[in-house]
Structures are given as structure tokens and as C-alpha cells.
């Protein structure tokens, strides 16, 4: 990337639609002509065919992919001389050859050499898979694949002889290319970007080998082509053109005749990377000969247009009913249009300009379309669309324009003068396809990118692939923010070529599309990569609802698939079974690849029998799985019939049943091997870890969290939206005049953070006030249901998924963090909209919705930072950067993140494996239902049973309606609940609903009594007015809620009660919660004691008020409190006092500060825990002899140490540098205790 105004000025003068013109304006051929003439004189002394083969062979090295213009110029120059002048049969030495190639490498022609913008090898499917060499040519693989689909996969009326001839030519080109690629062990997996300045020349032996690969027997070619006349047209002759013509980058004459007849009945491929473009060109000429040229090109363009529409649909853009708006689309052979949606309230205008074959040359492949006939039409059509859309009240800023240039080698010129809000995005079909592969999860990628690019300072005309810019954008977290010293909105950003190939490689590897034998008899299927580590692929055909995955092995392919699914409830079951079987088959690859199979493909079909509802019952393990699954085998087709009982057994607490299932499958598959059976002993190792299991049951009857959702894709906070807001924040701060570039004074850090929060909050207020209220609440609640479902799945599956997919651990944790981040923003938005419902007129667009969530997320983030500064937890300096952003060093943030991540991972492991992993054991509380009811009545005027009955009644109502978002009139719902539960009455129901609901109020930030301001701060936890505590939103007389969030509120309330964190005002509830907290503390103290007691060679005691009959008191006789746990290490003569604290993990800075104050800060006469503990330790040090006598210890040199043992990490100890020795319950081991 460079900032160079002079360079930009020069570039803007070039024709962006004619890349050949760009270089020719700078290229001086004089020196190169003389040098080339000298080289030719030298070549005449040697065997010309051997030399040409070696030059052509250099194209086979990845390092030389972008050097082909030099090789092509040399070969064409050689062909300018008559054959009679090449008389020598001597082979040039490797040193001499290297010298000549280095001379070529030093020519001025090299200035025309750009970084390659294609992958080095590419797969083309034609009744098999073939690797081709794209070189630096225009989309050879894509164009060839699309012409194959047009001719052989779509209905047409072309002559059979024409199709046969075309098939032979395609087979020739693909076979030649694939033979070379296979011989050199090239594959898609090994494709990478290589940037070498100079031509790579291999050592002699390797060069001879690869030169042999571009030399083919004439009879082989004749056999494949089968037409002598066509075959002759494929060969170049000597004595053509001149050196000056040869020294050009546009095209070489031999591109349309890429073969040269050599000695000994051999043919030399002059440039293997030209073959795909050559055969496409040849097909067009053959079609012309048969009278099909126009028909074929029209059909080809229609195929490409359909593919483009498919790519756009993958990115979330579907056709709108434009005729309802009185809009007529043009559908010409060379000009196609579509109006697509952008989310729910914006429009994408797509124009596809096609090469219709006008004046198509027999002599050239890569040229310019003969006329600029599209510019005027494009200008006229854009004006037409904008006029029509404005009549429908569509704003200019809501219209995005994409122009697709569909060519097969010729450059197309099209431009317009109309000023648009967003500059159109120009792409070719393959670029669009790569974007659809890489950005598939983001349905608004293109408009976001267009918007981001539009915000940049105007740069030079586009001379290179748009993917260069897109790769920069994606690489920088979906923004053009390059670094802290560069503001792309103020400085011109020039993106050099070379990044596009990284983007393409990522798409190619991510998809890895290829052809395989289908599970349908006599068919092939295209498959795309699903699991790279295990070589599991998914079918690309979705003509019927079916679950299907392919597992590829070195010796066999195995399909696992379902029949056509008819019910939604079947979907999760079939997908989970197919996914699990595919996974375990892939895990058994070392076993399976040792055998020889009688078939290339095995087809394993799954069928469900019995009632679908019974598959969702609670997991059980009480049978032999072999007795519950029946099977049928016919040749290479195996059918497994599952029953509800078999599925529930597979969902048991460990993977033992899954192992039984794989033993059965290996027996069935073993019957299809030459050996007759498969050894299963290695399964012991594969299933060694009990957490490594795939099957699980969604017990949503008892846990509404887990009720399956048809669409579980959750909305994420978009990095691009956050980036735009961070730019705006920086601009606002500088504009305010309160701060300037450089480091902010420490006392100003909290002030600037509050300024940012205030700015964002006002932005949120303004944005929401303009909106219509209808559907806004429903949208937020629906998204919160998705988030809750996904969060619960992660919590249930985390330990198992990490055991199954260790390579995805970071990805799983990142997704979990994204879910929590989105959840916090959505809940804040729900709270705000409930309190301050909008009364504007604008329809909420999805891009606008995403921006609102980003604002909410950043408010939480910056308020959190403010608290970190306010409570003196962080000392991080704050700086206004040269990029106009607010910057902070990340060291302390990273330290905090590491602590949080460790705690989070432990919690996830415990939550997801509570059946088989040791959790922190809790002794059962006594039965306190009566006390809880009484306390709730005193506190809230309804009992705990009333509370639960109302919630479960509402959940039942939602289940009956079968909606994710439930709505009901308050009065009707209350009557319904009363009728279904005689213990309820209208007064109780109304009070419970009031307790769990968010309602409208005048000012979001002023909740009124009895609440505190902190109850509406979304960055604080355990707030009485949070959506977590109040998941029902009241809009006028209507209640809106989601069952998952409602159930979560009940579980959260129970956790608050049992953790002693439920805030109370009445005496009864306060007393009860204190009682529960004390009991929990005692339980934890006992658990710590028991765990240390089980460690050998230690002496352990607990709850000590006196030692050796002496009370633990100070000089004045005041008690110092008892010692929670004391353990002695006799070998080290060490006495350790452990203060045991059952703390909750501090999530917010406010909680960290409270934790710090309690732990380490004395206030007036109230001593902190650390001080109290030190005083007890001092007492022990003064009474060592009493300790020795009490515990019968001997010898001198005894010391006393102090530690804290807690159930969760104490963050304040690290960030306030308190220096206390603190270990968590999970860290208790003999080694850790001895290190004190």
C-alpha cells in the first residue's frame, strides 16, 4: 500500500478497461528487440525443440506462474525464424540455458509482469476431476467449467457430432494438464501464493524431467482428437510474425495454436497454461462452423448469469417482484439485469454485461470487445432504475449497484457519468463466486463492503481485481483501517496487486469442490469440503431435503445419507446421526485404509423407525445396542434401521454405545473387503476418552432451553460496524476540541471513556427514535431466543466437542464469546426499547439493526473500560492516534482476558460434563420450600410456587402456539393461567407478571424508586431491571416473550438464591438468603477439608477456635475468628493456614472493586479478610510450640504460612498487586499445596 499522489494522477489517465494499454504506454521495446535478436542467434546453434521444451517446462514451476509473458515472448520470437535456419541437433548445456533465461529475465518486458491473480492449479470437472494450469489468463478454469455445464449438463439442441468433437477436445486438454499436474504431485491442498522476483530455473535433472512432461506422443493426441483437420489447426509453424510483434503482453499468436510438432513423432505443448483458454476459443469457432455460435454463446452467458444469481443468493440477495413497482428488466443476450433485496429494506441493482461474440476473432483469444456499445445503455438504465425506485420512496443511500463483466478473454469497456451515492462494484463471475464461498455466513457482506469502500478518499481507477481491495478489507477485520498511523478516509489508499490470489486460494481450499460417485446409482455428485481434518464432504445438491455426507479415504469413499425427510422433527435427528457416523468413520481412517475394498464407493443409508417424539425422551443405557439396530446389505448398499430406544442409548453419558455402533458398522463394511473382515482392536484407542462422543439428546421437555430451532443461525456483532463507529468516535473526540493527538493524562482517561459512552448513547437514542415500533421488539426477542439456544448447546456440548474436534477449540470458544457479546447487546437493546419505545416512521433495516447492536455493544465496552479506570484496576495509557482513533495498549486487557478465559473454560467443562466429570461437590440444602414460599410472599406478595406456576403456565402457552416469539394480551393470558392452575388468582398472576416484565418509562436512565441507577447499566451484573431478570416486555396491554429466555430467568433466579446474590429488602428473604449462604460456605469449607484430607502425608484440621486448649484471640482477648482449614507438611516443617472463601467470580470492574475492598482494604474498625487472616497467622507463629504439642510434631525450624482457597479465581489479587497467595478449589493438589 502506498500514498503517492503523482502515481495516482498517472494511473487515472490510463484506460482501466484495457489492461494492455496500461503497459504499452510505458514499454520501450528498443533494447529488448536487440537483446532478443542476439538470443535467437545463439539458439540457432542448438536443437530448437529441446530448447523450446525446456522454456515451456518453466511454466510448470509455481514460482514462474507470473513469468509466462517472458517465456511466451521468447517462444514466439523463436517461431519468427524459419524452420530451415534451425539445423543443429546439439543440446544446449544447462549453464548456457540458464544464461539465456537470465537475459530474458532482465528485459524491459518484465515491467509488464504482475503478481499472479489465479491459483497455480485448479480443478475442472468433466465426468471426473482434472487439474489444469490457469497461468495468468482470464478465468480459464471457470470459463471452461461453465462451457462444460452449458454443453453437457443442460438441455440443448446441439448436433451430436459437434458435441462429440468438443468432448474430445476438452478431454485432450484436461488429460494433458492433469497428467502433468499428477506427475509433479500438485494438488489443491498444496496451493499457495509464491512471490519470486526472478525466474526459477531448476537443476539439470529436474528440468529434463519436466521438459519431458510437455512433450507428448503425436499418436496420443491424434487418438484423443480423432479429426486430422482439427489436429492440424492446433499446431504452430515457424517463420511467423516478427520480434517486435512477439514482444507484447496482449497475446501471442501461438495461443490459438499451442502445440508444436517436434522430432521423433512428438508434440511440444508451448504453454500448458493456455490450453484451457485455447479449447474454449476452439469450441466457439467450431460452433460457428456448425452454425451454433450465437446459440452457444447465448446459452453460455445464461449459464454464467444463473451462476452469478446463485452466488448472490448465497450472500443473501434474492429477487424482488420488480413488476409490482412498474419496473421492467432488460434481458438481452449481452445485457442482463436483476433487482435483488439487501436485507429487508434496501435494493441491489445487478447488471451483467456479457461478451456476445461480436466480431470474434479466429486469431486472438485475449483482446478487447470491438466497441463501447454498453456505456450509453448503462447510463440510461441506471437513470431509469433510480427514477423508478425513488417513486417507491427508496432513498439513494439504500441502493447498491454491482456490475458483472462476463467475458471469456476479451476486455469489455463500459462506463457512465451519473453520480451515485455509492460507486458501483465491478466484479467478474469468478470473483463473485469466491466472495460467496468465503463470506457465506455474512448475508450483507457486499453492501457493507461497498459502504466501507465508499467512505475512503477517492483513489485511482480500478486497474486490477477488486479482490485485492476485498482481501485488505477482510484481513483488517472488515475495515480499511490498516494501522494506527494511517486514516484511509483522509489519505488515499492505493492497493497494489497480489492480495487477490490469497483470497482466491482461501475460497478454493474452503470449498474444494470435486466430482465423486453419488449415493444415487449411476450418478455423479459434486461435493464441497465440510471437515478438512477428516476429509468429510457435503453434497451440493439440495433438490430434496436430505442429510448426506461423504467420507473420503485413500482406498474407498463412504457415503452416509438419509432418505428424503418429510417432517421438521426428523431434521435434527437425521443430521445428528449422519454427522456422527461420518465423524466416527473418518476417525477410523487408519483402520479402514489398511484394507482392500471390493467397491470404490460404499453407500450407508440411515432410516428412522418408530415415533419421532420418542427419540427426544431422556437418554438411557440399559440394552445391548446390537439388539436395537437392524441392518440390510445389498452389494455396496448398507441400510441401518434406528429405533427410538437405540438413539436414546447412543445419547448416554459416555461413548461406550457409540463404540458398539462402530463395531457393528465395521463388521458390515468388513464384509465388503477382499480380506472379508476388519480388525477392531484399534477402536480401544479411538474411544479411549469417554468425553469423545457425538450423540446427545435434546431433552427439551424438561429444559425448554434446548427445544430445536429451525433457524439457529444467530446474529453477530459486525466488526465492520464497530470499525465505522470507532472512526466516528475518534472524529467526535477531536472535533470536540477537548483532546488532541497524543497520550491523554491519567486523570482524563475515565473522562474520555464517559464522553464516548455519552456520545454513543445519544446516537442510540437518535437512531431508535426515528423507527416504527412494530416488529422491533419481536425481532429482538427472536434473536435472543436464538442466542439462548446456541449458548445452551455450547454449554451442554463444549467438553465433548473439544474432545472430538481439538483443532476447533479456539473457534468454539470464540463463537461462545461472540454469543455472549451479542446477547449483552440484544438484552440492552431490549431493555431500552421496552423503556423508551420509538414512535418514528422509519422501517428498521437489518443493516441499521446491526448498527444498533454495534452501538449497544460499544456502549457496554466503553463503560466497562471507564470502570476499569475509575476503580484504578488498569493503568493502561489512553492515546489519540494519528489514525484519528482512540488507542490503548492491550497488555492489561489481554491479562484480564486470559483469566476470564480460563474461568470460562472450566465452567464450560463442568457444565457440559456434569454426569461424568467431578464438579465442585455441593451438599444438598435442607428442604426449604415452605420458608421460600413464606419469604417470597413477604417480599413480593406472591409465593415461590406462584412464581413458578405462572412461568410454567406461560411456557405451556408458548409451546401450544408453536412460535419462537409469544404474544398475548395481559388480561387474556392471566385468565388462561388461572383456568389451568387453580392455585393461581388474578392478583398473583398480575404481580408475578409485573415482577418479570420490562415496561415503558419516561427516561431509560432514571428507573425511579425503589431501583438504583445501576439497575439500568448494561455493563453491570445482577441488575433488578435487566432483561435476564425481566424477559417479558409489555407493549401497551400486550406481553411479548420467548420461552427459552423465560425459563432462563427462572433458573437464573434459583442460582441467585442459592448463591446468596438475590437482592432483597424484606427481613424474611434476607434472613433466608443469609442462611443459605452460610450453609453454602460451610459446605465449601468441608469440601476443601475433605479434598486436602485425601492427600497423603499431610495433617489436616478444620474450624479451629482453639489449639492446645488455647483460644485464638488477640492481646485484649478479642477473638480473631476460627481457622477454616489448617494443614501441616511434616517433611518441610511447614504449617499452612487456609482461609476458605466461596466467592462468586467477579465479572465487572465494580464487582472486582467490591472483591478487592472485602479482601484487602481495611475500613475504619472493619478489617478486611486479608488482615484478619494475617492476624490469625501471627497468632500461630507466636504459638508454634502449642501447634507442635497439639499435633505431636517434633524438631525445630517450623514455619507458618497463609493462603486463601477459593472456588473461583480472585481477579483483584492480580490487578491490584495485593500479593496474596490464592489457589482455587480446582488447583488443589499435593504439589500445589507444598509450593506455598
Q: Measured at the alpha carbon of residue 825, what is the angle toward residues 821 and 831, in degrees to the nearest 5?
A: 145
**Whole-number Cα distances in Å, 894 to 475, 749, 870, 900, 1046:** 21, 19, 19, 10, 34
1033 with 1039: CB under 8 angstroms?
yes
Distance between CA atoms of 1236 and 1234, rounded to whole angstroms?
5
Q: Which residues contact 924 (CB under 8 A, 6 or more apart)?
A: none
Distance between CA atoms of 244 and 29, rounded to whole angstroms?
7
pLDDT of residue 12: 52
pLDDT of residue 1059: 83
759 with 729: CB under 8 angstroms?
yes
Distance between CA atoms of 128 and 126, rounded to whole angstroms?
5
pLDDT averaged over consecutive 10-residue blocks of the chain (1236 residues)? 48 51 73 95 96 98 95 96 95 96 94 89 97 93 97 93 96 97 95 92 96 95 90 93 85 94 93 97 96 96 97 95 95 95 94 96 92 90 95 94 95 87 95 96 90 80 81 94 89 83 96 95 93 95 87 97 86 91 97 96 95 79 81 95 90 89 95 94 93 82 79 89 96 95 93 96 96 90 95 90 94 93 97 95 92 97 93 91 92 80 71 44 60 93 95 94 92 94 93 96 91 93 94 95 95 88 91 88 93 94 95 93 96 96 83 90 91 96 96 95 90 82 92 93
Residue with grid cell 517461431, as numbered in its chain: 79
3-state secondary structure of 1139: strand
63 with 194: CB under 8 angstroms?
yes
H or E element at residue 961: helix 944-961
Q: Measured at the alpha carbon of residue 164, what is the angle toward residues 163 and 170, in degrees to the nearest 5?
A: 85
Q: Which residues contact 675 (CB under 8 A, 6 or more apart)?
A: 595, 596
138 with 366: CB under 8 angstroms?
yes
pLDDT of residue 923: 47
Distance between CA atoms of 1173 and 1152, rounded to whole angstroms?
20
Distance between CA atoms of 721 and 847, rounded to whole angstroms?
9
Residue with grid cell 456479457, as numbered in its chain: 354
Q: How many CB atoms lie within 10 A of CB 1185?
A: 11
**Whole-number Cα distances in Å, 731 to 243, 721, 739, 742, 1172:** 58, 15, 11, 14, 51
340, β-bridge pairs: 319, 348
Distance between CA atoms of 787 and 722, rounded to whole angstroms?
20
pLDDT of residue 3: 42
471 with 421: CB under 8 angstroms?
no
122 with 508: CB under 8 angstroms?
yes
Half-sphere exposure (CA, 13 Å, Cβ side) for 883? 17
H or E element at residue 269: strand 266-269
Residue ranges of alpha helices (H) inside 550-678 are: 568-587, 589-592, 644-650, 656-670
pLDDT of residue 927: 66
The x, y and z cell numbers of residue 155, run together, are: 438441455
Tell whether omega for the bond before 598 is within 30 degrees of 0, i.e. cis: no
Residue 442, Cα to own-chain centre: how many angstroms? 9
pTM, two decimal places: 0.91
Distance between CA atoms of 157 and 142, rounded to whole angstroms?
23
The x, y and z cell numbers of residue 1198, run together, are: 517450623
pLDDT of residue 522: 87
Distance between CA atoms of 331 and 318, rounded to whole angstroms?
17
Distance between CA atoms of 785 and 789, rounded to whole angstroms?
6
3-state secondary structure of 491: coil
H or E element at residue 1234: helix 1230-1234
Amino acid at each position: 500500500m502506498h500514498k503517492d499522489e503523482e502515481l495516482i494522477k498517472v494511473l487515472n489517465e490510463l484506460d482501466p478497461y484495457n489492461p494492455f494499454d496500461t503497459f504499452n504506454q510505458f514499454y520501450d521495446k528498443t533494447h529488448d528487440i536487440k537483446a532478443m535478436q542476439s538470443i535467437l542467434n545463439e539458439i540457432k546453434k542448438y536443437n530448437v525443440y529441446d530448447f523450446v521444451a525446456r522454456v515451456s517446462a518453466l511454466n510448470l514451476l509455481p514460482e514462474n506462474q507470473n513469468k509466462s509473458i517472458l517465456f511466451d515472448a521468447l517462444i514466439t520470437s523463436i517461431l519468427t525464424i524459419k524452420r530451415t535456419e534451425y539445423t543443429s541437433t546439439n543440446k544446449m548445456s544447462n549453464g548456457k540455458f540458464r544464461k539465456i533465461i537470465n537475459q530474458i529475465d532482465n528485459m524491459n518486458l518484465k515491467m509488464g509482469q504482475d503478481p499472479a491473480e489465479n491459483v497455480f492449479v485448479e480443478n475442472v470437472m468433466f465426468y471426473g476431476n482434472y487439474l489444469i494450469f490457469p497461468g495468468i489468463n482470464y478465468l480459464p478454469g471457470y470459463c471452461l467449467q461453465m462451457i462444460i455445464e452449458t454443453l453437457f449438463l443442460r438441455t440443448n439442441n446441439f448436433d451430436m457430432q459437434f458435441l462429440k468433437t468438443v468432448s474430445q477436445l476438452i478431454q485432450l486438454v484436461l488429460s494433458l494438464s492433469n497428467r502433468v499436474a499428477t506427475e509433479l504431485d500438485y494438488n489443491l491442498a498444496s496451493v499457495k501464493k509464491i512471490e519470486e522476483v526472478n525466474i526459477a530455473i531448476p537443476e539439470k535433472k529436474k528440468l529434463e524431467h519436466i521438459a519431458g512432461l510437455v512433450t507428448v506422443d503425436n499418436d496420443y493426441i491424434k487418438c484423443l482428437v480423432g479429426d486430422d483437420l482439427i489436429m492440424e489447426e492446433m499446431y504452430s509453424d515457424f517463420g511467423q510474425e516478427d520480434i517486435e510483434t512477439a514482444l507484447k503482453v496482449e497475446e501471442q499468436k501461438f495461443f490459438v495454436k499451442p502445440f508444436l510438432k517436434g522430432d521423433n513423432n512428438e508434440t511440444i505443448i508451448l504453454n500448458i497454461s493456455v490450453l484451457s483458454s485455447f479449447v474454449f476459443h476452439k469450441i466457439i469457432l467450431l460452433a460457428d462452423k456448425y452454425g451454433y455460435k450465437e446459440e452457444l454463446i447465448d446459452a453460455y452467458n445464461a449459464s454464467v448469469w444463473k451462476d452469478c444469481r446463485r452466488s448472490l443468493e448465497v450472500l443473501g440477495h434474492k429477487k424482488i417482484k420488480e413488476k409490482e413497482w412498474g419496473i421492467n428488466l432488460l434481458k438481452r443476450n449481452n445485457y442482463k439485469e436483476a433487482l435483488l433485496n439487501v436485507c429487508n429494506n434496501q435494493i441491489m441493482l445487478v447488471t451483467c454485461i456479457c461478451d456476445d461474440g461480436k466480431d470474434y476473432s479466429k486469431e486472438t483469444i485475449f483482446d478487447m470487445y470491438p466497441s463501447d456499445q454498453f456505456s450509453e445503455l448503462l447510463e440510461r438504465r441506471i437513470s431509469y432504475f433510480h427514477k423508478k425506485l425513488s417513486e417507491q420512496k427508496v432513498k439513494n443511500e439504500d441502493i447498491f449497484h454491482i456490475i458483472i463483466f462476463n467475458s471469456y478473454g476479451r476486455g469489455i469497456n463500459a462506463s457512465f457519468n451519473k453520480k451515485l451515492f455509492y460507486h458501483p462494484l465491478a466484479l467478474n463471475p469468478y470473483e463473485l463466486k469466491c466472495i460467496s464461498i468465503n463470506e457465506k455466513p455474512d448475508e450483507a457482506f457486499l453492501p457493507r463492503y461497498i459502504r466501507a469502500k465508499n467512505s475512503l478518499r477517492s483513489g485511482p481507477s480500478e486497474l486490477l481485481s477488486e479482490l485485492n481491495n476485498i482481501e485488505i478489507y477482510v484481513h483488517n477485520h472488515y475495515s480499511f483501517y490498516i494501522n494506527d498511523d494511517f486514516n484511509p478516509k483522509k489519505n488515499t489508499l492505493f492497493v497494489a496487486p497480489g492480495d487477490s490470489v490469497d483470497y482466491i486460494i482461501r475460497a478454493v481450499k474452503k470449498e474444494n469442490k470435486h466430482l465423486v460417485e453419488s449415493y444415487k446409482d449411476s450418478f455423479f455428485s459434486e461435493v464441497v469440503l465440510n471437515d478438512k481434518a477428516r476429509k468429510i464432504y457435503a453434497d451440493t445438491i439440495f433438490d430434496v431435503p436430505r442429510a448426506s455426507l461423504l467420507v473420503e479415504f485413500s482406498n474407498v469413499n463412504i457415503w452416509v445419507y438419509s432418505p428424503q425427510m418429510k417432517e421438521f422433527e426428523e431434521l435434527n435427528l437425521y443430521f445428528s446421526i449422519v454427522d456422527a457416523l461420518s465423524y466416527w468413520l473418518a476417525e477410523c481412517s487408519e483402520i479402514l485404509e489398511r484394507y482392500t475394498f471390493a467397491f470404490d464407493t460404499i453407500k450407508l443409508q440411515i432410516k428412522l423407525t418408530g415415533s419421532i417424539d420418542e427419540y427426544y425422551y431422556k437418554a438411557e443405557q440399559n440394552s445391548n445396542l446390537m439388539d436395537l439396530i437392524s441392518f440390510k446389505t445389498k452389494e455396496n448398499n448398507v441400510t441401518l434401521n434406528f429405533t427410538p430406544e437405540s438413539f436414546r442409548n447412543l445419547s448416554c453419558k459416555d461413548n461406550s454405545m457409540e463404540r458398539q455402533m462402530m463395531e457393528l458398522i465395521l463388521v458390515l463394511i468388513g464384509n465388503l473387503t477382499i480380506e472379508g473382515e476388519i480388525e477392531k482392536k484399534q477402536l480401544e484407542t479411538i474411544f479411549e476418552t469417554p468425553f469423545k462422543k457425538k450423540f446427545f439428546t435434546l431433552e427439551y421437555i424438561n429444559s425448554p432451553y434446548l427445544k430445536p430451532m429451525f433457524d439457529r443461525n444467530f446474529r453477530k456483532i459486525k466488526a465492520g460496524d464497530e470499525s465505522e463507529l470507532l472512526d466516528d468516535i475518534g472524529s467526535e473526540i477531536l472535533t470536540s476540541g477537548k483532546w488532541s493527538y497524543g497520550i491523554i493524562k491519567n486523570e482524563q482517561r475515565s473522562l474520555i471513556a464517559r464522553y464516548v459512552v455519552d456520545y454513543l448513547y445519544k446516537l442510540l437514542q437518535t437512531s431508535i427514535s426515528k423507527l416504527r415500533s412494530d416488529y422491533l421488539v419481536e425481532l429482538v426477542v427472536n434473536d435472543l431466543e436464538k442466542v439462548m439456544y446456541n449458548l445452551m448447546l455450547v454449554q451442554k456440548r463444549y467438553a465433548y466437542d473439544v474432545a472430538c474436534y481439538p483443532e476447533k477449540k479456539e473457534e468454539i470458544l470464540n463463537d461462545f464469546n461472540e454469543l455472549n457479546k451479542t446477547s449483552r447487546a440484544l438484552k440492552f437493546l431490549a431493555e431500552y426499547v421496552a423503556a423508551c419505545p420509538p414512535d418514528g416512521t422509519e422501517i428498521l433495516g437489518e443493516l441499521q439493526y446491526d448498527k444498533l447492536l454495534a452501538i449497544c455493544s460499544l456502549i457496554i465496552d466503553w463503560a466497562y473500560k471507564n470502570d476499569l479506570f475509575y476503580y484504578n484496576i488498569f493503568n493502561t495509557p489512553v492515546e489519540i492516534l494519528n489514525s484519528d482513533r482512540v488507542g490503548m495498549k492491550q497488555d492489561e486487557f489481554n491479562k484480564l482476558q486470559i483469566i476470564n478465559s480460563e474461568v470460562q473454560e472450566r465452567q464450560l467443562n463442568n457444565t457440559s460434563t456434569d454426569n461424568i466429570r467431578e464438579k465442585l461437590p455441593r451438599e444438598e440444602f435442607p428442604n426449604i420450600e415452605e420458608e421460600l414460599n413464606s419469604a417470597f410472599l413477604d417480599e413480593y406478595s406472591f409465593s415461590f410456587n406462584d412464581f413458578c406456576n405462572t412461568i410454567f403456565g406461560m411456557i405451556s402457552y408458548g409451546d401450544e402456539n408453536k412460535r419462537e416469539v409469544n404474544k398475548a394480551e395481559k388480561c387474556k393470558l392471566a385468565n388462561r393461567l388461572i383456568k389451568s392452575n387453580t392455585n393461581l388468582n388474578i392478583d398473583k398472576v398480575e404481580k408475578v407478571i409485573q415482577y418479570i416484565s420490562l415496561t415503558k418509562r419516561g427516561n431509560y436512565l432514571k428507573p425511579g424508586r425503589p431501583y438504583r441507577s445501576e439497575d439500568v447499566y448494561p455493563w453491570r451484573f445482577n441488575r433488578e431491571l435487566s432483561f435476564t431478570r425481566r424477559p417479558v416486555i409489555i407493549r401497551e396491554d400486550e406481553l411479548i416473550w420467548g420461552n427459552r429466555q423465560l425459563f432462563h430467568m427462572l433458573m437464573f433466579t434459583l442460582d441467585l438464591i442459592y448463591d446468596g446474590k438475590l437482592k432483597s429488602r424484606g427481613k424474611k428473604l434476607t434472613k433466608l438468603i443469609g442462611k443459605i449462604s452460610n450453609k453454602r460456605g460451610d459446605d465449601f469449607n468441608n469440601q476443601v477439608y475433605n479434598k486436602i484430607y485425601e492427600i497423603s502425608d499431610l495433617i489436616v484440621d478444620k474450624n479451629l477456635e482453639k489449639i492446645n486448649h488455647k483460644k485464638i484471640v488477640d492481646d485484649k482477648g478479642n477473638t480473631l475468628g476460627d481457622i477454616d482449614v489448617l494443614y501441616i507438611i511434616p517433611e518441610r516443617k511447614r504449617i499452612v493456614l487456609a482461609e476458605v472463601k466461596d466467592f462468586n467470580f467477579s465479572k465487572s470492574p465494580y464487582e472486582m472493586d467490591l472483591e478487592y475492598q472485602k479482601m484487602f482494604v481495611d475500613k475504619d474498625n472493619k478489617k478486611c479478610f486479608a488482615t484478619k487472616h494475617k492476624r490469625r497467622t501471627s497468632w500461630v507463629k507466636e504459638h508454634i510450640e502449642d501447634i507442635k504439642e497439639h499435633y505431636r510434631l517434633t524438631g525445630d525450624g517450623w514455619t507458618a504460612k497463609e493462603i486463601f482457597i477459593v472456588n473461583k479465581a480472585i481477579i483483584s489479587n492480580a490487578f491490584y498487586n495485593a500479593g496474596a497467595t490464592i489457589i482455587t478449589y480446582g488447583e488443589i493438589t499435593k504439589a500445589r499445596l507444598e509450593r506455598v
